[in-house]
């Protein structure tokens, strides 16, 4: 029988003991893995050297870390080795648990409710709804800014609450969300560079589906990618969940137009499988040759490099698609590290995060350029890597468009910040449900938007009453 207790969710665990004993433990974490074979262990071993900065105070005791299971397998193996080396140098006993993306928020809520669990928790989207139960990390962010200059605005807005003047999380990195398209398919309809606008996506996607049966892959289900693409479409049509001051602004003609457009996109270029997708569905469809375009990170393409090189060579990328009001894409992920108030290892956790950020170039390299730093100066090699991929992109400059990805990317709360209400709207999937109801024909676009706006206002009202939203 499978337990329904969130605290019993399966974790992949590594324990690293501080001091001299570390040298003999967890050696496998630094070894080559079969997933590296497509690139060669030597390529991955050629990344930036790590540097150790001594903690500001002597550390001891234990630190329990909960991190997501990365979409790029090489990253988790690097991270475990990185933690092991830091544990030995800092004199801290560290346990690292990895957990699947879809289980993290439930796990965090369960640990906070129980008042016990991990000292340092990583998620890959804002967690402002947990602000009352986590430490204010303002001093940590100030120290990072003192060392490395201003934090990338997208990451700051994904971890700071202006209503309370608190940093509910530490956001050292993020992941862009470009369009991934099959060049051969789009070349046949006269768009070898892929779609540059939502209108081109509709026209081209419909033409490709009519000619080949291959559909577009934009989800409308209760999962991460559907949340992101829905916001990107809203923004590009001139709508948003909130304005810059945090006032609900969803119920507008522009939002109705965006929902009507998604309905046309679904009916002409997609199938009903998009209503039941999980986060890996669009990746798998692109790699299998069943999708002509998805909105995602570069992880699907990296997978194809290993499994189906011919498809990987045919995958290319485009920046945010233009709509009537401009071209803005939601980030794919943004790191949010939180420290619960119950954490006994809070001091060690903050020192680890500074060490991790100082070495973010190694994190970017080990993620095969998936994770980008919130302090760009920590990865001076990034533009060179993106223009000439160290991991055998064909052609080598395939990722060059990501050099200025921050310019066309936005946080979930755009044009405001990612407050507690934004977090709950995302975790309850109000926006994907809004698009799906209209696309299925259950209600009109106007009713779908009005109903979603009512849900959003209710969520905002709850958090305003608690003083966490202005």
- 83 in Cβ contact with 18 (< 8 Å): no
Residue 339 to residue 94: CA distance in whole angstroms: 15
369 has pLDDT over 80: yes
Q: Determine, yes or no, domain membership for 470.
A: no
Residue 30: pLDDT band with limits 50, 70, 90 = very low
Helix (H, G, I), strand (E, B) or coil at 383: helix
pLDDT digits (tens, 9 = 90+) for 432-452: 999 999 999 999 999 999 999
Closest CA to 328 of 258, 421, 255, 229: 229
pLDDT in tens, 147-187: 999 999 999 999 999 999 999 999 999 999 999 999 999 99
CATH number of residue 148's parent domain: 3.40.190.10
Question: Which of 398, 420, 454 corresponds to the end of one domain?
Answer: 398
* Boundary-marking domain end, from 398, 423, 442: 398
Phi, psi of 2, rounded to the nearest 5 degrees: -85, 130
Under DSSP, is residue 77 helix (H, G, I), strand (E, B) or coil?
helix
Of 375, 398, 421, the position where a domain reaches its end is 398
- The answer to whether position 390 is within a domain reads yes
Q: Is pLDDT above 90 for 85?
A: yes
User: By percentage, how much of the chain surpasses pLDDT 90?
Assistant: 87
Rounded mean pLDDT, 311-327: 98
Q: What is the pLDDT of residue 7?
A: 53
Count of residues in the chain: 470
Q: Tell whether 94 and 212 lie within a shared domain.
A: no
Regarding whether 76 and 155 lie in a shared domain, the answer is yes
pLDDT confidence of residue 198: 99
Give the side-chain half-sphere CA count within 13 A for 231.
25
- The SS3 call for residue 120 is strand
What is the predicted pLDDT for the residue at 31? 30
DSSP track, 172-213: -EEE---EEEEHHHHHTTT-TT--SBHHHHHHHHHHHHHHH-
Domain assignment present for residue 1? The answer is no
Q: Are residues 141 and 187 part of one domain?
A: no
**What average pLDDT does this structure show over 311-325?**
98
CB contact burial 438-463 (16+ within 10 A = b; e otherwise) = bbeeeeebeebbbbbbebbeebbeeb
Q: What crossing angle do the helices spanning 253-269 and 224-236 adopt, rounded to 10°?
A: 120
pLDDT of residue 19: 44
145 and 24 both lie in a single domain: yes
Same domain membership, residue 153 and residue 70? yes
Task: Report yes or no on 403 lying in a domain.
Answer: no
Distance CA 126, CA 171 (A): 9
Q: Residue 374 phi/psi, 5° resolution?
A: -75, -15
Query: Do residues 330 and 228 make contact, with C-beta atoms less than 8 angstroms apart?
Result: yes
Backbone phi, psi, residue 134, to 5°:
-125, 160
Q: Is residue 355 part of a domain?
A: yes
Number of domains, the chain: 2
Beta-strand relationship, 12-16 and 215-217: unpaired
Task: Supply the DSSP string of 47-64, one letter for each residue.
Answer: SPPP-----SS---SEEE
Instruction: Calculate mean pLDDT across residues 7-30.
Output: 46
Indicate whether 350 belongs to any domain.
Answer: yes
**Residues 397 and 405 sit within 8 Å (Cβ to Cβ):** no
Phi/psi of residue 94, nearest 5 degrees:
-120, 135
**Same-domain check for residues 15 and 27:** yes
Instruction: Let me know: does 410 contact 239? Beta carbons within 8 Å.
Output: no
Decide if 266 contacts 274 (C-beta within 8 A): yes
pLDDT at 62: 97
| Same domain for 161 and 198 | no
3-state secondary structure at position 65: strand
Kindly indicate the confidence band of residue 426, based on its pLDDT and cuts at 50, 70 and 90.
very high
Cis preceding-peptide flag for 395 (omega within 30 of 0)? yes
pLDDT at 101: 86
Q: What is the DSSP string of 396-447?
A: TTTTGGGGGGGGGEE-TTTTS---HHHHHHHHTTHHHHHHHHHHTTSS-HHH
Residues 305-324 have a mean pLDDT of 97
Residue 13 has pLDDT above 70, yes or no: no
- Closest Cα partner for 286 from 222, 218, 332, 220? 218
Cβ-proximal residues to 334 (8 Å cutoff; 6+ apart), any chain: 124, 125, 126, 154, 155, 158, 159, 171, 173, 174, 175, 411, 412
A 10 A CB-CB count for 46 gives: 10
My answer on whether 362 and 444 are in the same domain is: no
pLDDT at position 374 over 60: yes
321 and 185 fall within a common domain: yes
pLDDT band per the 50, 70, 90 thresholds, residue 18: low
| 372 and 245 assigned to the same domain | no
Confidence of residue 248 (pLDDT cuts 50, 70, 90): very high
- Nearest 5°: the CA angle 422, 428, 429 is 90
pLDDT at 46: 77
In a domain, 205, yes or no: yes
348 and 438 fall within a common domain? no
206, 254: one domain: yes
Residue 456: which domain range? 179-330+408-465
Which tens digits make up the pLDDT trace of 274-295?
Answer: 999 998 999 999 999 999 999 9
**pLDDT score at 1:** 28
Q: Evaluate whether residue 218 is within a structural domain.
A: yes
Q: Please, what is the average pLDDT of the chain? A: 92
Q: Which helix (H) or strand (E) holds 361?
A: helix 360-366
């Amino acid at each position: 029988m499978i337990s329904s207790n969130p605290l019993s969710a399966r974790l992949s665990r590594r324990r690293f003991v501080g001091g001299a004993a570390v040298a003999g433990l967890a050696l496998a974490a630094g070894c080559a893995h079969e997933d590296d074979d497509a690139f060669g262990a030597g390529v991955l071993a050629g990344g930036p050297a790590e540097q150790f900065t001594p903690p500001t105070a002597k550390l001891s005791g234990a630190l329990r870390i909960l991190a997501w299971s990365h979409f790029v397998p090489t990253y988790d193996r690097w991270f475990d080795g990185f933690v092991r080396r830091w544990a030995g140098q800092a004199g801290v006993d560290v346990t690292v648990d990895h957990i699947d993306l879809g289980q993290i928020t439930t796990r965090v809520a369960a640990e906070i409710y129980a008042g016990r669990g991990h000292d340092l928790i990583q998620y890959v989207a804002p967690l402002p709804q947990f602000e009352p139960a986590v430490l204010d990390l303002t001093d940590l962010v100030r120290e990072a800014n003192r060392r490395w200059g201003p934090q990338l605005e997208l990451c700051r807005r994904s971890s700071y609450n202006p209503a309370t003047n608190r940093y509910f999380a530490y956001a050292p990195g993020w992941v862009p969300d470009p369009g991934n398209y099959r060049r051969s398919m789009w070349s046949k309809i006269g768009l070898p560079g892929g779609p540059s606008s939502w209108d081109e996506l509709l026209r081209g996607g419909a033409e490709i589906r009519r000619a080949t049966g291959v559909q577009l892959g934009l989800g409308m289900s209760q999962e991460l990618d559907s949340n992101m693409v829905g916001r990107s479409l809203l923004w590009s049509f001139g709508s948003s969940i909130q304005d810059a001051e945090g006032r609900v602004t969803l119920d507008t003609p522009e939002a109705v137009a965006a929902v009507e457009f998604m309905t046309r996109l679904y009916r002409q270029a997609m199938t009903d499988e998009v209503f039941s997708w999980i986060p890996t569905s669009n990746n798998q469809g692109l790699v299998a040759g069943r999708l002509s375009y998805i909105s995602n990170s570069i992880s699907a393409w990296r997978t194809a490099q290993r499994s189906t090189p011919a498809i990987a060579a045919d995958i290319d990328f485009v920046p945010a698609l233009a709509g009537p009001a401009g071209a803005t894409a939601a980030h794919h992920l943004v790191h949010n590290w939180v420290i619960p108030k119950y954490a006994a290892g809070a001091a060690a956790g903050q020192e680890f995060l500074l060490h991790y950020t100082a070495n973010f170039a190694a994190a970017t390299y080990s993620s095969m350029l998936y994770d980008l730093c919130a302090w760009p100066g920590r990865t001076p090699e990034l533009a060179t890597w993106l223009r000439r991929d160290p991991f055998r992109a064909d052609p080598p400059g395939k990722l060059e468009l990501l050099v200025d990805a921050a310019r066309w990317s936005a946080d979930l709360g755009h044009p405001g910040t990612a407050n507690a209400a934004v977090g709950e709207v995302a975790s309850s999937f109000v926006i994907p449900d809004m698009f799906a109801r209209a696309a299925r024909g259950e209600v009109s676009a106007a009713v779908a938007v009005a109903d979603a706006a009512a849900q959003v206002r209710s969520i905002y009202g709850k958090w305003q009453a608690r003083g966490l939203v202005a």
